[in-house]
Amino acid sequence: DTGVSQNPRHKITKRGQNVTFRCDPISEHNRLYWYRQTLGQGPEFLTYFQNEAQLEKSRLLSDRFSAERPKGSFSTLEIQRTEQGDSAMYLCASSLFDSYNEQFFGPGTRLTVL
């Protein structure tokens, strides 16, 4: 499978716990994006990387959220001290650095905070 993969696909956690999600982009893609999608809404941009550099973070990304992309390959998104409002689908996408920016999305990680 050469598409974008995300793990885990589902995560149930209790409020206050920390969670970490992983995204493996398409191998030759140097851009990687994180989005969050809540029920009935479109995906909302969280952050993006070009290679290993995190170039922008949305205001949606509070201090409890941190993302990394060591060595410009896979990326992790960590949420500390989870809250019920963090319950959502977390989507990862990747693209090549070009002017067309066709982003390929992974299947997402569905987070439920109890």
Partner 1 sequence: AQKVTQAQTEISVVEKEDVTLDCVYETRDTTYYLFWYKQPPSGELVFLIRRNSFDEQNEISGRYSWNFQKSTSSFNFTITASQVVDSAVYFCALSESYSGGSNYKLTFGKGTLLTVNP
Interface residues toward partner 1, by CB under 8 A: 31, 33, 35, 40-45, 48, 55-56, 89, 91, 93, 97-108
CB of residue 81 to partner 1, shortest distance in Å:
26
Strand pairing category for 31-37 and 19-24 = unpaired
Q: What is the DSSP letter of 40?
A: T
Q: Which residues contact 114 (CB under 8 A, 6 or more apart)?
A: 12, 13, 14, 15, 84
Nearer to partner 1, 35 or 65 (CB): 35
CB of residue 27 to partner 1, shortest distance in Å:
18
Nearer to partner 1, 35 or 113 (CB): 35
Nearer to partner 1, 56 or 68 (CB): 56
- DSSP secondary structure letters along 53-75: EEEEE-TTS-TTEEEE-GGGS-E
